[in-house]
Amino acid sequence: MGCADLHSHSTASDGALAPAALVALARSLGVTTLALTDHDTMDGVPEAVAAGRDAGVTVIPGVELSARVQSGSMHILGYFGDPQPAGLVERLRRFRELRVERAQEMVERLARLGAPVAWDDVERRAAGAIGRPHVAEALVAAGHAADRHDAFARYLADDGPAYVPSSSISPQQALEILAAGGGAPVLAHPFSLGLEGEALRGAVADLAQMGLRGIEVHRPDHGAIERAALLEIAQALDLVPTGGSDFHRPDGPVALGDTGSQPVPEETVSALRALR
């Protein structure tokens, strides 16, 4: 029996592996169902689907959208049956244009903060949707940060001095955009909202009212307590409990296919299929 990983990134956004290389890694690790969920793009999906067909890995087309909330950003994943959902492609192109303007703004802020990086150096690190990790790499290369993590801690985190939001859409708009493309919207890394207990349950209940269909329960950064709390919320609100590694790079903190101490249940994949 293989395992499912429903959250991963490629060079189409801020991952280090090209879509085909990501699928090859999945195969070598026994991941038999992989969702590619790049930030604001599905440009990597056709290559991943083709590679999956050859390698015997089922690739689920996906995307990760950012919405603006008071604490910074909320990430909502969308899962699709079609690699290029009609209507969504144009929308995502616009989001990526805004990402370029936003990255330029962060570079300007960094200069004012005494940590200048060359725009060209940031830009050449991004093959697709540009994001904070590309700016972080440029900061490290310029000697302004010890490593990627340090670049976020000093400058780029949601409460950092160089942070500019990537998105100005509301959670409701993100949910509508995904649903309009025929997708099933799922809340990514729920604890990044900075809420717990009843406050988290209330926030997720509001999202469920607006069309949220699932919530990430199984992640390598969740322990048994987090998993249990999220599973209870999922059951109470009739949301599909999903999960994934949020893999970005082989030298990063998580391995592809790592969803914590429990695998993503088989029923999750069929439940997501039934939703979209």
Rg of the chain taking only CA atoms, in angstroms: 18
Least separation in angstroms between residue 2's CB and Fe ion is 24
8 Å CB contact between 218 and 227: yes
- Whose Cβ is closer to ligand AMP: residue 106's or residue 240's? 106
Q: How far are the Cα atoms of 42, 48, 149, 214, 240 from residue 38, in angstroms, in the given order?
A: 7, 12, 20, 18, 21
Instruction: Copy the structure tokens of residue 34.
Output: 């992989």
Report d(CA 72, CA 158) in Å as an integer: 6
Contact between 75 and Fe ion by CB under 5 A: the answer reads yes
Binding partner at 163 among ligand AMP, Fe ion, Zn ion, none, C-beta below 5 to 8 Å by kind: none
Q: Which of 40, 43, 216, 246 binds Zn ion (CB under 5 A)?
A: 246
Least separation in angstroms between residue 9's CB and Zn ion is 6
Please give the span between the terminal C-alpha atoms of the chain, in angstroms, as a whole number: 25
Report d(CA 54, CA 82) in Å as an integer: 18
- Whose Cβ is closer to ligand AMP: residue 187's or residue 208's? 187
- Whose Cβ is closer to Zn ion: residue 47's or residue 246's? 246
Least separation in angstroms between residue 7's CB and Zn ion is 6
Q: Which residues bind ligand AMP (CB under 6 A)?
A: 14, 39, 66, 131-133, 148-149, 152, 157, 166, 248
Least separation in angstroms between residue 274's CB and ligand AMP is 28
Binding partner at 219 among Zn ion, Fe ion, ligand AMP, none, C-beta below 5 to 8 Å by kind: none
8 Å CB contact between 125 and 118: no
* Neighbouring residues of 128: CB distance < 8 A, sequence distance ≥ 6: 11, 12, 13, 38, 41, 43, 44, 96
- β-strand pairing of 184-187 with 214-218: parallel
Report d(CA 133, CA 126) in Å as an integer: 9
Q: Which of 2, 11, 12, 14 binds Fe ion (CB under 5 A)?
A: 14
Give backbone dihedrals phi and psi of 220, rounded to 5 degrees, phi first. Answer: -65, -20
- Whose Cβ is closer to Fe ion: residue 50's or residue 123's? 123
For tokens 């940031």, the residue is 122
Least separation in angstroms between residue 243's CB and ligand AMP is 16
Least separation in angstroms between residue 239's CB and Zn ion is 18
- Whose Cβ is closer to Fe ion: residue 33's or residue 41's? 41
Binding partner at 258 among ligand AMP, Fe ion, Zn ion, none, C-beta below 5 to 8 Å by kind: none
For the segment 177-216, give every residue that binds Fe ion (CB under 5 A). Answer: 188
Interface with Fe ion (CB under 5 A): 14, 75, 188
Interface with Zn ion (CB under 5 A): 64, 246
